[in-house]
């Protein structure tokens, strides 16, 4: 019997949301993505002991550069296991500084290219603040493709499409978490607010011929994944990938590229900030996500201090 994972791969590009090499080798995703939280977990793997010590010596006194090099080293190893791309994240503390985000992205690409990795195998992950989106616009013009993350509002999605970013990562599970707590109830997959958000964005992009790829992220259960079968890409944890791989029941496509969506929105800074601010969930979850990634970035840097 065909597993749900193999069925899902017929409709959707599957991306591994992990730095775990064993899981990547076993489950064989096309792409992979990391963030400071995942890199912090990866740093505990015994296989990275010598690498950590080498980077610590080479970048003594410069923990920020050390963490960039560690992220690239992990990315380089992951790329040896997958046919596609690795997403590597800019320091979340730069989320409200367009120039610093842009400059950090250039450094990451330079580090990859120094290791012989072509930039077309790397996506630069940036928080979808107004400043991050504008930095991504500039990077795309330099043939550096981007993955806009911590995306919770429709305003963020519309601004990303307008900026011509390569890919967005709307966070299904974190949207679900907020509404579950706020409304004191659970949701079926069809009524899940995170699923509905991604479905709306997908229809908007396809209906208006935006080339930006929609990659659902941050899943809490299989129902959310199954309800988004047909989305361009889904980035999934090893635990949920394993569950999909063990399930041989039928999986039907739910999203189709010929669906129509809302009319195009062209957002300036004022309209973006107002529309995003009107979404209490998105405002809270974006701020929370940036804080969390910034804290893990600081923990990573302490490993190299």
Question: How much is the pLDDT for 248?
Answer: 96
**Dist CA 251 CA 88 (whole Å):** 31
Please name which of 42, 48, 35, 127 lies closest in space to residue 87, comparing C-alpha atoms: 35
Backbone torsions φ then ψ of 73, nearest 5 degrees: -65, -45
* pTM for this prediction: 0.94
**Dist CA 246 CA 266 (whole Å):** 44
Question: How much is the pLDDT for 78?
Answer: 92
* Domain that residue 152 falls in: 4-303
**Dist CA 171 CA 276 (whole Å):** 15
Catalytic residues: 125
Number of H helices, E strands in the chain: 14, 8
Q: What is the mean pLDDT of each run of 10 residues along the chain (305 residues)?
A: 94 89 85 89 88 92 94 94 95 98 98 97 98 98 97 98 98 98 95 98 96 97 98 95 95 92 92 98 98 95 89
**Dist CA 217 CA 98 (whole Å):** 24
Which segments of the chain does DSSP mark as H helices, in order? 4-11, 21-27, 36-42, 49-58, 63-79, 98-114, 130-141, 154-163, 172-183, 193-207, 222-227, 238-246, 269-277, 280-303
Which region holds residue 38: left if phi is over 0, alpha if psi is between -120 and 50, else beta? alpha
Backbone torsions φ then ψ of 79, nearest 5 degrees: -65, -25
pLDDT in tens, 187-240: 999 899 999 999 999 999 999 999 999 999 999 999 999 999 999 999 999 999
Chain centroid to CA 209: how far? Answer: 22
157: domain CATH number? Answer: 3.20.20.70
Q: What is the count of structural domains for the chain?
A: 1
pLDDT in tens, 199-214: 999 999 999 999 999 9
């Amino acid at each position: 019997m065909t597993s749900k994972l193999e069925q899902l791969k017929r409709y959707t590009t599957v991306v591994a949301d992990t730095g775990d090499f064993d899981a990547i080798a076993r489950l064989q995703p096309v792409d992979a993505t990391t963030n400071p939280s995942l890199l912090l977990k990866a740093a505990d793997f015994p296989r990275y002991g010598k690498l950590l010590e080498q980077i610590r010596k080479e970048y003594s006194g410069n923990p920020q550069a050390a963490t960039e090099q560690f992220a690239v080293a992990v990315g380089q190893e992951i790329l040896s296991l997958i046919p596609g791309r690795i997403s590597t994240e800019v320091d979340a503390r730069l989320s409200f500084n367009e120039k610093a985000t842009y400059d950090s992205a250039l450094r990451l690409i330079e580090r990859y290219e120094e290791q012989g990795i072509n930039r077309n195998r790397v996506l630069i992950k940036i928080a979808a603040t107004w400043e991050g989106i504008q930095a991504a616009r500039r990077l795309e013009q330099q043939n550096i493709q981007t993955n806009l993350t911590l995306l919770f509002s429709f305003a963020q999605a519309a601004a990303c499409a307008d900026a011509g970013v390569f890919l967005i990562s709307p966070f299904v599970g974190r949207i679900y978490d907020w509404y579950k707590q706020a409304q004191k109830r659970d949701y079926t997959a069809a009524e899940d607010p995170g699923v509905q958000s991604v479905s709306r964005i997908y229809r908007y992009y396809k209906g208006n011929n935006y080339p930006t790829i929609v990659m659902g992220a941050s899943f809490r259960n299989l129902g959310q994944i199954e309800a988004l079968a047909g989305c361009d890409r889904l980035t999934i944890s090893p635990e949920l990938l394993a569950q999909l791989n063990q399930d041989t029941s039928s999986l039907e496509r739910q999203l189709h590229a010929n669906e129509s969506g809302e009319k195009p929105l062209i957002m300036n800074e004022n309209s973006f900030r107002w529309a995003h601010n009107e979404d209490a969930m998105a405002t809270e979850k974006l701020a929370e996500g940036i804080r969390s990634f910034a804290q893990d970035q600081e923990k990573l840097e302490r490993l190299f201090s």
